[in-house]
Chain A
Amino acid sequence: MTADFLLTLAQAIVNGLLTGMVYGLMALGLSVIFGVMRIVNFAHGEMMVVGMYLAWMGFEYLQVSPMLSLPVIAAIFFAAGYVLQRGLISPFIGRPEHQQFLLLLAVAILLVNASLAIAGPDSRGVQMESQFDSYELGPLVFDAVRLHAALAAVAIALLLWLFFTRTRTGKSIRAAADNNLAALVVGLDVRRLYAVTFGVGAACVGAAGALMITIIPVSPFLAVEYTLLAFVIVIVGGLGSMTGALLGGLLIGVSEAVAGLLLQPSLKSMFSFGLLILVLLLRPQGLLGKGPQ
């Protein structure tokens, strides 16, 4: 264990934490959707990819930085998510999993192939102005782009937390998630709340996409990987727990970085899936999720 190695390890952990924060934001969207409506969003990764594409298009054609187009993209995603839930997904709540799966699979296919049709199969990246900047803290180097993305992710997560704990709608959503029937009985418009929830979840993904494009380029083929990643994070971190999703994101980000360093890089996802299996078996509620009902 030389000092050099420890430094490389620490650096990997730092990078993992930063990227992990953005992963966490993506997973937050899934956690919100699944936690509240028990809808398995198989189109999650595809939504992420579309977010990345939108941010890329804003940069490429309008010269707008993804950090600036983020709120716009989030708003678009919210609206689209709201409509999608209200119009298409709503009747599928409570239906057997395989039907939900097929529905969202269809949505996923449409999203990813629309992206393919519009942007082509090549990967598209964004060259940020601060591309080569970095901050230093002692021997550790914080890549500026990643750091900004991570901070933005934290800020958005914070906003979300405020939404769910301080606003009426947010609290109503949590109530509906806890006990649907009771929510209906006290007169909450559960359908609208679900639509808002899906919109919020989608907005998270869109925002995460806008942040992610600053870190890595996008191609249609990333979608499946992101869907799986989101699920691993949400399960590991704990369903229905927002902090769990973020924590899970960090954990997965770090473990991927470290695994990539210690093992062959291509084995890193193996590690994530192994972790998923363990969590599913030993602690299905995840690290911070609510206990088994």
Chain B
Amino acid sequence: MSFIRRLAGNAPPRILWSLGVLLALLLLAPALLGKYWLSVLILILYFAYVGQAWNVLMGFAGQLSLGHALYAGLGGYIAAGLYFHYGIGPWAGLFAAVAVAGMAGAIVGYLGFRFSLAGVYFALLTIAFAEFTRVAFDHWEWAGGSGGLFLKVEHATDIVNLRGGPVLFYYSILALAAGAFILCRALLQSRLGQYWLAIREDAEAAQAVGVPVLRCKMIAIVISAALTALAGVWNAFYYNNLFPETAFAMGRSIEITLAPIIGGLGTLFGPIVGAVVLTGLGEAFTDLGDVLRIPGTKQIFYGLALLVIVVYRPAGVWPWLADKLGLKERRP
């Protein structure tokens, strides 16, 4: 109970009440929403979750990773592969998935941080690792090679093996998203979290007051990778297929970064707000594209929307929104 009180910290009561109401609504959603809207909500929660995971590395520790698909892909493939070949369910498989992805994160992190790669160079390193792995998986028969890995679709609800209808996946992604939110809140409030923020502001000054910069950055990337791997596992079992071309693609990596960047880096609500905005825009523009029937319409409007947001709200939508609502969260 005191843990919850500490989490709440000095957040104003109306925030806590709003969160409570939101959670209640989310829990009831499957009963309230139709199939389409539920799938939209699932998408929002997915991007909010994976965005939160990415945010740990970027928003907190300040390292831009454009290769996060590496961890999602590894997570998905390991868990799906174990299920496909040995019937090992995802609840057990996820441990392996998280371990492998965490190790990958540690390697990328160690190489990047130890060799003092920053900014663009670090981002390129992450891209290189993801691309390298993509091609590697194209040739790995155990994972299905370029032809892909397919899981059998079953409609009977089987929680142990994450088989079933949308409702199961809805609650599982909701749990992940809520869990990530709470975890990030707890992390930010902890000593590690404060160290991360200091490192992001000024790593040299942080080191001068005793912050073990390399160790903190390594922890950030491993946590980020591990959390992202879970998204990959969920994704694999939701869509039932995996291809190296998409699982490790740059497009996937970019996708992961959009919600937190649009929403507001380094904030807790940023990824969520970003996910809502982007998914909303995506759906709206898809409809528009269907109406206009020119290929690429949806993307053109999407691109314009991104352009407008980055030019007029470079710090993200959430800080601006919070300001309007009279709320205060850490500035990115």
- Chain A residues in contact with chain B, CB under 8 A? 34, 40, 88, 95, 97-99, 101-103, 105-110, 112-117, 120-121, 220, 224, 228, 231-232, 235, 264, 266-267, 269-270, 273-274, 276-277, 280-281, 284
In the bound complex, CA of A99 to CA of B300 (Å): 19
Flag whether B188 is at the interface (Cβ < 8 A): no
Q: Which residue from B117, B121, B254, B314 sits with its C-beta under 8 Å from A105?
A: B254
Q: Name the residue of chain A whose CB is nearest to the CB of B305.
A: A106
Q: Check B132–A274 contact: CB distance below 8 A.
A: yes
Q: Which residues in B have their C-beta under 8 angstroms from that of A276? A: 124-125, 128
Q: A98-B58, A102-B261 are in contact. List 19 more A-B contacts (CB 8 A).
A: A103-B311, A105-B254, A109-B300, A110-B300, A112-B299, A113-B300, A116-B295, A116-B299, A220-B296, A228-B250, A264-B139, A266-B146, A267-B139, A273-B128, A273-B129, A273-B132, A276-B128, A277-B111, A277-B129
Q: Check B123–A97 contact: CB distance below 8 A.
A: yes
Q: Check B251–A277 contact: CB distance below 8 A.
A: no
**Chain A CB within 10 A, most for which of B64, B123, B127, B135:** B135
Q: Which residues in B have their C-beta under 8 angstroms from that of A277? A: 111, 125, 128-129, 132
Given contacts A106-B304, A277-B125, contact A117 B310 (CB under 8 A): no
Flag whether B303 is at the interface (Cβ < 8 A): yes
Q: Which residues in B have their C-beta under 8 angstroms from that of A113? A: 296-297, 299-300, 303
Q: Check B135–A270 contact: CB distance below 8 A.
A: yes
Q: Which residues in A have their C-beta under 8 angstroms from that of B250? A: 224, 228
Q: Check B125–A280 contact: CB distance below 8 A.
A: yes
Q: Is the interface of B mostly helix, strand, loop or mixed?
A: helix
How many of B's residues come within 8 Å of A, CB to CB? 44
24 contacts across the A-B interface (CB closer than 8 A): A40-B120, A88-B311, A97-B64, A98-B265, A99-B314, A105-B254, A109-B306, A110-B307, A112-B299, A113-B299, A115-B296, A117-B294, A117-B300, A121-B295, A228-B131, A228-B250, A231-B124, A269-B131, A270-B132, A273-B129, A273-B131, A273-B132, A277-B132, A280-B124
Flag whether B136 is at the interface (Cβ < 8 A): yes
Flag whether B66 is at the interface (Cβ < 8 A): yes
In the bound complex, CA of A121 to CA of B299 (Å): 14
Q: Which residues in B have their C-beta under 8 angstroms from that of A97? A: 64, 119-120, 123
Q: Check B58–A266 contact: CB distance below 8 A.
A: no
In the bound complex, CA of A212 to CA of B15 (Å): 57
Q: Check A266–B300 contact: CB distance below 8 A.
A: no
Flag whether B84 is at the interface (Cβ < 8 A): no
In the bound complex, CA of A108 to CA of B310 (Å): 14
Per-position 1/0 for B125-155, Cβ under 8 A of A: 1011101100110110000001000000000
In the bound complex, CA of A259 to CA of B117 (Å): 28
Q: Which residue from A106, A115, A267 sits with its C-beta under 8 Å from B135?
A: A267
Q: Check A228–B127 contact: CB distance below 8 A.
A: yes
Nearest-Cβ distance from residue A224 to partner chain B, whole angstroms: 5
**Chain A CB within 10 A, most for which of B138, B295, B302:** B295
Q: Which residue from A102, A105, A110, A115 sits with its C-beta under 8 Å from B304?
A: A110
Flag whether B36 is at the interface (Cβ < 8 A): no
Flag whether B115 is at the interface (Cβ < 8 A): yes
In the bound complex, CA of A142 to CA of B132 (Å): 31
In the bound complex, CA of A146 to CA of B155 (Å): 55
Q: Which residues in A have their C-beta under 8 angstroms from that of B254? A: 105
Q: Check B121–A284 contact: CB distance below 8 A.
A: yes
Given contacts A97-B64, A99-B314, A117-B297, contact A266 B120 (CB under 8 A): no
Q: Which residues in B have their C-beta under 8 angstroms from that of A231? A: 124, 127
In the bound complex, CA of A110 to CA of B261 (Å): 19
In the bound complex, CA of A103 to CA of B311 (Å): 8
Nearest-Cβ distance from residue B48 to partner chain A, whole angstroms: 18
Q: Name the residue of chain A whose CB is nearest to the CB of B136.
A: A270
Q: Check A280–B132 contact: CB distance below 8 A.
A: no
